[in-house]
Amino acid sequence: MNVRIVKRAARILATVLVLSIILSVSAVSASAYEVKGRTLAQALGMDGAVYYGWLRSHINDTYYNTTPYEHADHRNPNGDCEGANGTLDTPGVPALNCMGFVWHALYMPTKMSGGRTGLIPSYGNGGWYGLYTGYNLSRRYFNSKRDLLKSGYAEPGDIIWMFEVNETVADDSNHIAIYMGDGHSDRVWHAVKAGTKFGYINPDYAEYLVIKSGAVRTLKAPKLKSIANAVKGPRLTWCKVSGAQYYRVYVKNGKTWKLLGQTSNNYFDDKTAKSGKTYTYTVRCVERSGKSISPLAKNGLSIAYYAAPGGFKAEFDTTTGVKFTWNAVASAHVRFIE
């Protein structure tokens, strides 16, 4: 065999092997790398429900929103700028950078929870690296915004780091935000040059890191509307609650509540009710992941249930006129409707 042909074939084979290695490495790096540990709330001693409630309470006001952006260590939102929270802040002057916003959004609920506020990193992502590695925080890495949103891993309140290179390279272009979507939607809360506001995840970063915050989403108890006798049994209706995936209905059983069932509707028919008895019902709601359950609607609504009479017949008699008959219902009184 020609020596030149053999050498050429060897070079082609080597090239194929190198490409195979590169492709296999790319496939590994493209997949999400996850670390399972404690949540940020657990590390800080922060009540997850207090944290989520704090965020929710300021979504629509200007406590954080519209605060002007300033580079470096600025932690003075509109709603708390009397003093100087950051090393470069001026009392009475509102200013936030991206880390300053996240710091303050964690600082307040951690303080209210009696937690360790000193652990919350301020300016410079090196402090964050030490926190999530040193305290083994649950987190997952992604190579693209698309993979992050497709995974559904992020939950409201989670922290998202966006790195120009990777987590070990400090860069002024790195960005931090609080995720406020539903797992797949593109919605973050962050401080940018246009001010602190809701926005989108920048797709141009090389690496994304989602840190589990441990936020506990709280839902309001549904407001009861009415209860009435229906064909299938007592029907309880209530107002829908934003963020609720389904509702659990309970009936009073002595001094406690007994679960009857659940529904995605805003009404429920108790098909187990017996005619002639009085029942008291209430409801609570549950969000999509099942991690957040609202309190029960206070007191509940009561009704004396009477089943619709069956066996209804109408017979005409030339002497007495029309004769109506039906099956008797326990404890019910006769009512004629013309």
Query: CA-CA distances (angstroms) from residue 121 to 86, 104, 126, 128?
Result: 12, 10, 8, 6
Residue 43 gets the label, from left (phi > 0), alpha (psi -120 to 50) or beta, of alpha
Written as one letter, the residue type at 123 is Y
Q: Which two tokens stand for residue 161?
A: 């780091």
The confidence score (pLDDT) of residue 313 equals 67
The confidence score (pLDDT) of residue 238 equals 97
The parts of the chain modelled with pLDDT lower than 70 are: 1-32, 124-126, 289, 291, 309-314, 316-318, 320-321, 323-338
φ, ψ of residue 153 in degrees (nearest 5): -70, -40
Query: Is the whole model's pTM more than 0.85, yes or no?
Result: no
Assigned CATH for 224-304 = 2.60.40.10
**Closest of 208, 230, 224 to residue 284, by C-alpha:** 224
Distance in angstroms (rounded) separating the CA atoms of residues 86 and 93: 11
Q: Which two tokens stand for residue 77?
A: 């939102």
The confidence score (pLDDT) of residue 49 equals 85
Contacts of 319 (CB under 8 A, 6+ apart): none
| Helix, strand or coil, per DSSP, at residue 253 | strand
The confidence score (pLDDT) of residue 272 equals 94
Instruction: Express each pLDDT in 185-222 by its tens digit.
Output: 999 999 999 999 999 999 999 999 999 999 987 788 99
Instruction: Express each pLDDT in 237-249 by its tens digit.
Output: 999 998 788 999 9
Q: Which two tokens stand for residue 230?
A: 């229906």
Q: Where in the chain is the domain with CATH 2.60.40.10?
A: 224-304
